[in-house]
């Protein structure tokens, strides 16, 4: 975890293997070179195999293998086995990333579908409310027409009648109640 290598360090043998997209066995002549002391000290070996992990498009990582325990030389057969493993590991890493992206896209699609369903339900509600509002306007219109005639007749009678007229009180009640109904409509 403490090993950090800049990909701009052209003197580092790991960086060179990555840039050349080629597996190598680094021996003492390479390991002792400038820019490699930190790696040699951390691993405590003079020989190390470096196998880059490439997917179809990107660098996924690097496999570093040493011979610290066995002290056997790292052979070309060892490199071939590591390269086979590296291909499988690269594919596994790439597939994992692709599955993650696919999962994110599926989540976004589900959210979008939920929004579409909610919008559709809101539209249906709005259409129903619009139909109810239109019906309420039609009913109000149908009530208002005869009400206007009744109220108009009562108001006309009030203008013509005198204060002692017997029907005046009835016309006042009719006028007041028609105004109240019109305001409610």
For residue range 107-152, list pLDDT tens digits in order: 999 999 999 999 999 999 999 999 999 998 998 888 888 888 899 9
* Cα–Cα distances in angstroms (integers) from residue 128 to residues 119, 124, 141, in the given order: 14, 6, 20
DSSP 72: P
CA angle 34, 37, 40 (to 5 degrees): 135
Q: Is pLDDT above 80 for 32?
A: no
Query: For residue 52, how many other CB atoms are within 10 A of its CB?
Result: 21
Q: How does residue 70 score in pLDDT terms, banded at 50, 70 and 90?
A: confident
- C-alpha count within 13 angstroms, C-beta hemisphere, residue 87: 5
- Of 20-24, 37-41, 135-139, least confident by mean pLDDT is 37-41
Per-residue pLDDT at 1:
66
142 touches 183 (CB < 8 A): no
**C-alpha 76: how far from chain center:** 47
Q: How does residue 176 score in pLDDT terms, banded at 50, 70 and 90?
A: very high
Residues forming beta bridges with residue 44, ordered by sequence position: none
Output the six-digit token pair for 131: 């139909």
Per-residue pLDDT at 161:
86
The three-state secondary structure class of 155 is helix
DSSP 6: -
Q: How does residue 37 score in pLDDT terms, banded at 50, 70 and 90?
A: confident
Q: How does residue 43 score in pLDDT terms, banded at 50, 70 and 90?
A: confident
DSSP H or E run through 59 = strand 59-66
Output the six-digit token pair for 173: 């009640």
47 touches 26 (CB < 8 A): yes
Average pLDDT over residues 144-169: 87
23 touches 50 (CB < 8 A): yes
Say how many Å lie between the first and final Cα of the chain, rounded: 77
Mean pLDDT of all residues belonging to the chain: 87
């Amino acid at each position: 975890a403490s090993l950090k290598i800049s990909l701009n360090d052209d003197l580092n043998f790991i960086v060179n293997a990555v840039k050349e997209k080629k597996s190598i066995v680094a021996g003492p002549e390479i390991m002792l070179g400038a820019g490699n002391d930190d790696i040699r000290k951390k691993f405590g070996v003079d020989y190390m195999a470096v196998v880059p992990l490439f997917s179809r498009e990107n660098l996924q990582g690097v496999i570093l293998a040493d011979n610290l325990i066995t002290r056997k030389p790292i052979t070309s057969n060892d490199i071939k086995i590591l390269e086979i493993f590296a291909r499988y590991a690269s594919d596994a890493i790439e597939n994992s990333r692709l599955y993650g992206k696919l999962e994110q896209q599926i989540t976004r699609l589900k959210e979008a579908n939920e929004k579409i369903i909610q919008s559709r339900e809101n539209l249906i509600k709005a259409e129903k409310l619009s139909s109810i509002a239109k019906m309420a306007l039609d009913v109000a219109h149908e009530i208002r027409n005869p009400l206007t005639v009744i109220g108009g007749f009562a108001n006309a009678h009030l203008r013509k009648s005198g204060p002692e007229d017997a029907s005046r009180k009835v016309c006042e009640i009719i006028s007041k109640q028609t105004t109240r109904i019109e305001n409610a409509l």
